[in-house]
A and B are shown apart, each in its own frame.
Chain A
Amino acid sequence: MIELCTFRVGPLFLGIEVARVQEVLRHLPIVRVPLAAPAIRGLINLRGQIVTAIDLRRRLGLADTPPASPANVVVRTPHGPVSLVADDVGEVLGVSDEDFAPPPETLRGPSRALYRGAYKLPGELLLHLVVDEVVRVPQ
């Protein structure tokens, strides 16, 4: 039984370990960084600390139509906090190991490494993201 902080990006229902989430913030202006990789949304000012914001839509290869007020899911990484920009944040869900399934064989390419697997919730799959892979944006 682990607890996942859940959020939505496009059609995907995603979760990461609660312990990795530092905080969730909305309405933060994001300053674009020219010449950066497309998946980098920009920089945010987190109480004086400058934090990189990663556009989860682009990172996960989804359509580029961000919602009006995206949410910043600030996660802890060994190199300091990083914000994952999601469409909307859901609640913290307790999930159990018996519902877990690894990624299917048909999911190939670099995307595969982004997921630890999925929890089979009633009516929906909760995809468990590997935070350290998601924040490692190729340049």
Chain B
Amino acid sequence: MSDNADIVAEFLVESHENVERIERELVALESNPEDATTLASIFRSVHTIKGTCGFLGFARLEKLAHAAENLLSLVRDEELEYVPAIAEGLLAMVDAVKGALATIEASGSEGGETHAALVAHLEAMSRGAPAPAPAPRAPAPAPAPPPSGAIADTSVRVDVVLLDKLMNLVGELVLTRNQVLQLTANQPSSTLLAAIQRLNVITADLQEGVMKTRMLPIEQVFAKLPRLVRDVAAACGKDVRIQIDGAATELDRTLIEAIRDPLTHLVRNAIDHGVEDPGVRRARGKPPQATVSVRAYHAAGHVNIEIADDGNGIDSEKIRRKAVAHGLMSVDAAGAMGERELLSLIFLPGFSTAAEVTAVSGRGVGMDVVRTNIERIGGTVDVDTAAGRGTTFRVRIPLTLAIIPALIVASGGARYAIPQASLVELVRAPADRLESFHGARVYRLRGRLLPIVDLRAVLGDAPGDAPESVNIIVLQTQEQPFGLLVDEIQDTAEIVVKPLSAHFRSIGAFSGATVLGDGGVALILDVAGVAAAAGAVGDVARRATAPAPAAVPVPAPVDDEALLLCRGASGGVVAIPLSGVHRLAQIPVAAIERTGDEEVVQYHGAILPLRRLSTLLGEVDAGDAGDRLDVVLAGQVGVVVSEILDIVQCPAKVERRSPRPGVVGSLVVKGRVTELLDLGELLGTARPRLGVAA
């Protein structure tokens, strides 16, 4: 029966294409009912579906297609006028066929759906035609579909799985070529060099060629828009025309899938929120029919998509009021925001300016999802609006995801790749040019204060030696640029993006990993995730997924040291240099287990020995007050403190040295005398049996 299965598969592919075309053409026909060519094409496609269904024994689908064909033939013979009711009925037929195809694909049979009501409806419309003098002709035997054009003769269908495999192999080849290039960099042999040069060129060509095979025209997504616009406009009682440009613009097929939903949502939004009712438009002196235009074009290695409407624009005052009403910010903060900043608020979760919730939009679950989806594929979205004249959304996405240009940097002894798409510029500056804004480091870049984020701090690495000059990588995020401090800027490279396994899903700072030219592995930084982790983006815009700020040490200004303030058992405040702290955690008292005379807890799948700070300091333990303990993780030991109070930046200047082991001395922090601890020494004096990690 596998022959039959093959035929059915073929039928499904063909019918999907036909149905798509019919849908497009039915909508086109509405604006130009006299177009005989389009009508003939619809007729042919319906006929083909009917014929194949009959051949394969899908009788119900055949009957449905037959009813539609009859109706179409009457329209074609000008015995019926192509009125919206007929268009409606035929589009309903298209939906029913789509459903039936899905059922066949899933189960191999038509299932129980008879489409009886729809068939009856179509037949009723056919009968509704005023009978002309000569009896209606029986539907003429439809012309056989004309031999397909040149494209069908020169193209083949290729399984996407195979293409993906080829893409992976080419990725590997690129890496191997890079390795060969590195290994032979100092080779004197000119014949070898020539061969390598050829390998280089051929690999590049092959990579480009394979990437092209995965490119699809964006038309795949755009084709559905006319129907969408028609349905949504009808549902909202608006008159909207869609104008599409650049449907031939190509991008990677994985990206086509990824932008489908965001794009649909933006168009839907433009109709529901953007454009006015015909009456209002007339009153404002605009043509009653609104226009939503969708344009795609390539620029600078990216695909740009613009969705523009000629509606009333977004009222930034309304956003301001809404932001205050939702408690997202104070009246003063909202008042101080500029137009662009206010506009960017519409991308926040739960934000909708629609006065009321409609079936189409206004639930406030849309724009943040749009942005998240676009950012997930390395794209950006922003918005422009002009009061009374309309709104334009600009979506910018990379051409392909699989291979991206990146900057390779070193930090804390490891290498990281930063996608060049987020890169604005590289700055090398003397270290003393970094200034402190109440503890937050900034750099004056052409008159603007650029927030500085130390990659070591974000990744929990110990601070490096203070260098004379620093490397600042200026990166663009949705909200604002920030500067990333790295130890060294190494190279630029084309990297093959490989996904990380589920073990790393909770870390927001990485978007994947790659194999570098020398065979080493480098993590790819997720620029938005790094910014969020370091708090370099505004408070309201901070992602829900950002790790708790306490877990990320604040980058220390040059002379100050970041200190963790905790309350000890005796109630006194102690300070621990944050550089020796790996993590802060809360552990339920119930989770503490005992092995011998030692307290341990299972943490991240490992056994973590616990040490009471009171015991380490030779004080009497006050017992556990709550049902959760604050624990400071240093190496592979957890130090239980009474309470974690704060993280402060201050000069770790000891006023009075202490003779007690593990206590450096006392200093004044926030007006209180505080004991500064040396955690390493403290733990060393009471060395746990399992040993302290280096």
In the complex, the chain B residue whose C-beta lies closest to that of A35 is B507
A116: Cβ under 8 A from any B Cβ:
no
| Selected A-B contacts with CB under 8 Å, 10 pairs | A33-B507, A33-B523, A34-B509, A40-B503, A43-B521, A50-B515, A50-B521, A59-B605, A59-B606, A65-B691
A44: Cβ under 8 A from any B Cβ:
yes
Cβ B604 vs Cβ A139 within 8 A:
yes
A68 to B606: give the CA distance in the assembly, Å. 21
In the complex, the chain A residue whose C-beta lies closest to that of B633 is A38
Instruction: Tell me the chain B residues, 491-527 only, with Cβ under 8 Å from chain A.
Output: 498, 500-507, 509-510, 513-515, 519-523
- Given that A35-B459, A50-B513 are contacting pairs, would A45 and B520 also be in contact in the complex, using a CB cutoff of 8 Å? yes
> Which residues of chain B have C-beta atoms less than 8 A from A61's C-beta?
602, 606-607
B13: Cβ under 8 A from any A Cβ:
no
Cβ A35 vs Cβ B460 within 8 A:
yes
Instruction: Tell me the chain B residues, 372-394 only, with Cβ under 8 Å from chain A.
Output: none
Cβ B604 vs Cβ A39 within 8 A:
yes
- A12 → chain B closest CB, angstroms: 14
Helix, strand, loop or mixed for chain A's interface?
loop
Cβ A31 vs Cβ B522 within 8 A:
yes
Cβ B498 vs Cβ A33 within 8 A:
no
B414: Cβ under 8 A from any A Cβ:
yes
A105 to B502: give the CA distance in the assembly, Å. 32
In the complex, the chain B residue whose C-beta lies closest to that of A34 is B459
> Which residues of chain B have C-beta atoms less than 8 A from A44's C-beta?
521
Q: Fill in one digit per residue for B167-203: 1 if any A CB lies within 8 Å of its CB, else 0.
A: 0000110011000000000000000000000000000
A59 to B414: give the CA distance in the assembly, Å. 23
B544: Cβ under 8 A from any A Cβ:
no
> Which residues of chain B have C-beta atoms less than 8 A from A109's C-beta?
593, 602
In the complex, the chain A residue whose C-beta lies closest to that of B169 is A48
In the complex, the chain A residue whose C-beta lies closest to that of B513 is A50
Cβ A58 vs Cβ B606 within 8 A:
yes
Cβ B523 vs Cβ A31 within 8 A:
yes
Cβ A63 vs Cβ B521 within 8 A:
no
8 Å CB contact of B172 from A34, A36, A48: A48
Q: Fill in one digit per residue for B576-616: 1 if any A CB lies within 8 Å of its CB, else 0.
A: 00000000000000000100000000111111000000000
8 Å CB contact of A31 from B459, B502, B520, B606: B520
Closest 8 CB pairs of A and B: A61-B607, A34-B459, A37-B604, A31-B521, A58-B606, A39-B605, A139-B506, A48-B172
B636: Cβ under 8 A from any A Cβ:
yes
Instruction: Tell me the chain A residues, 25-72 only, with Cβ under 8 Å from chain B.
Output: 29, 31-40, 43-45, 48-50, 52, 54, 58-59, 61, 63-65
Give the residue among B498, B519, B521 with the most A Cβ atoms within 10 A: B521
A97 to B636: give the CA distance in the assembly, Å. 38
B residues sitting closer than 8 Å to A (CB atoms) are: 171-172, 175-176, 412, 414, 459-461, 498, 500-507, 509-510, 513-515, 519-523, 547, 593, 602-607, 636, 690-691, 693
Q: A52-B503, A52-B504, A79-B502 are in contact. List 20 more A-B contacts (CB 8 A).
A: A29-B520, A29-B521, A33-B504, A33-B507, A33-B523, A38-B606, A38-B636, A39-B606, A43-B513, A43-B521, A45-B515, A48-B171, A48-B172, A48-B176, A50-B515, A58-B605, A61-B602, A64-B636, A137-B503, A138-B605
- A35 → chain B closest CB, angstroms: 5
A94: Cβ under 8 A from any B Cβ:
no
In the complex, the chain A residue whose C-beta lies closest to that of B602 is A110
A65 to B691: give the CA distance in the assembly, Å. 8
> Which residues of chain A have C-beta atoms less than 8 A from B605's C-beta?
37-39, 58-59, 110, 137-138
A137 to B506: give the CA distance in the assembly, Å. 12
- A67 → chain B closest CB, angstroms: 14
> Which residues of chain B have C-beta atoms less than 8 A from A50's C-beta?
498, 500, 513-515, 521
Give the residue among A31, A38, A44 with the most B Cβ atoms within 10 A: A38
- B474 → chain A closest CB, angstroms: 22
A104: Cβ under 8 A from any B Cβ:
no
- A134 → chain B closest CB, angstroms: 9
A11: Cβ under 8 A from any B Cβ:
no
- Given that A44-B521, A65-B691, A110-B602 are contacting pairs, would A35 and B503 also be in contact in the complex, using a CB cutoff of 8 Å? no
A64 to B313: give the CA distance in the assembly, Å. 62
- A74 → chain B closest CB, angstroms: 13
A86: Cβ under 8 A from any B Cβ:
no
A36 to B508: give the CA distance in the assembly, Å. 10
